[in-house]
Amino acid sequence: RTDGFSAQTKGSIHKMKIKINKERVKLYLRLAGISVFFSALIDHETVLKSTVNYIWILAYLLVSHFILFEYTLPFIRFNWKRLLIAPFLIFAHLMFYAFGTFAWRYFGIQLQVYFPMEEYKNILEGVGDQFGNTLGSIIFFGFFLHVNDHQKLRRTAQQLRIEKQEAELNYLKSQTNPHFLFNTLNNIYSLARDKSDLAPESILKLSKMLRYMLYETSGAFVAIEQELKIIGDYIALEKLRYDDSLLVNFNHDVEDMKQALPPLLLIPLVENAFKHGVSETRSQPFVDIHLSVKQRQLAFFVKNSTEMSPEEGPVKENIGLSNLRRQLELLYTDYSLSVEQKENVFSATLKINLSSHV
């Protein structure tokens, strides 16, 4: 029983320990240094004595400010029950400032570390004068602490927003990549089911694409030439399913092939052209793809045959296009993605100012 009581008592004492944030202490010391500097400029005639006096008084005020701003105010903030005792706590602090500062001044005089610049007729006069001087210090510390906390809150909110966007972007990529992979596997399955001699070649091409997806797309960017290569491999893999009736035109005009581009950003438009266009076209299937990048302005055009017509209603975007739109929102501030359905022709146009990356 005794051991249990001792352990419980130790636990209670441990909970009562006050944690002091070292970074906050450093902030208070920096503000104290600024305060001493400006006080020395104001009292330039007796700068040495005034500075020594202010440092002595400030040592007491630092403790008082720390208790007020770090413990008392947070204790009564946002809690209506504690607001009932708030007037008593504030009054206690005011007395702590008024009489404590005067007493601390008197203690410094006795130790000969404080230079009495003026004499008071009585204690109340001294208390009033010292308290008036401390009000400026309270306002000074309160203002800069508020500014610091506000900036810190903004930085934290911005960091959380960035982390949230990165998490969402990774989630969109995790959706797009398997979607792209499953479609490719379906193509290989069709070849294998037909016992096509092209099945081994398609598996080899798929392995290259998987290697790219696993090892090259983990970073935020890849070179445009890598993105073009994966598009070319995907087109070659898709063409294995079709005879010579499928016409594919893939060309590009890129002034710098080493320019950075988020990996697999363009592939959803190419995939969409084959899966929802060419695969559903019964006669004269075609895909036209053109990429242009000049002066950091990217333009990507994809046009494909389809059996649909404008009369069938507005274009319904699949998961690939929807995810692409959201990725663009998270990655760039200056971009446009438009799709158009004409008679037996579907086209998509993507334009990005690569310099507008978030």
For the record, the structure tokens of 147 come out as: 């500014």
39 located within any domain:
yes
148 lies in the same domain as 248: no
350 lies in the same domain as 220: yes
For residue 46, the Cα-to-chain-centroid distance in whole angstroms is 50
CA distance 280 to 307: 7
Mention every residue, 6+ apart, whose C-beta is less than 8 A from residue 266: 227, 231, 291, 300, 350
Q: What are the φ/ψ torsions at residue 295 (nearest 5 degrees)?
A: 50, 45
185 located within any domain:
no
Question: Are the beta carbons of 350 and 269 closer than 8 angstroms?
Answer: yes
Beta bridge pairs of residue 301: 290, 349
State pLDDT tens for residues 144-178.
888 888 888 788 767 666 666 666 556 555 555 56
83 located within any domain:
yes
State pLDDT tens for residues 88-130.
888 888 888 888 888 888 888 888 888 887 777 777 777 777 7
Return left, alpha or beta for 351; rule: phi > 0 is left, psi -120 to 50 is alpha, else beta. beta
147 lies in the same domain as 246: no
151 lies in the same domain as 222: no
CATH number at residue 243: 3.30.565.10
Range of the structural domain that residue 277 is part of: 215-356
At 42, the pLDDT band (50, 70, 90 cuts) reads low
114 lies in the same domain as 220: no
State pLDDT tens for residues 323-345.
888 888 888 999 999 998 888 88
Q: Which of 115, 135, 157 is the last residue of a domain?
A: 157
pTM: 0.53
Mention every residue, 6+ apart, whose C-beta is less than 8 A from residue 88: none
105 lies in the same domain as 231: no
Question: Are the beta carbons of 102 and 120 closer than 8 angstroms?
Answer: no
166 located within any domain:
no
85 located within any domain:
yes
192 located within any domain:
no
Question: Is residue 1 exposed (0-12), middle (13-18) or buried (19+ Cβ within 10 Å)?
Answer: exposed
219 lies in the same domain as 351: yes
Q: Which of 90, 122, 157 is the last residue of a domain?
A: 157
152 lies in the same domain as 219: no
Q: Which of 107, 138, 157 is the last residue of a domain?
A: 157
227 lies in the same domain as 352: yes
Q: pLDDT at position 228, please?
A: 92
228 lies in the same domain as 128: no
Count of the separate structural domains present in the chain: 2
Question: Are the beta carbons of 327 and 265 closer than 8 angstroms?
Answer: yes
Q: pLDDT at position 291, please?
A: 96
343 lies in the same domain as 220: yes
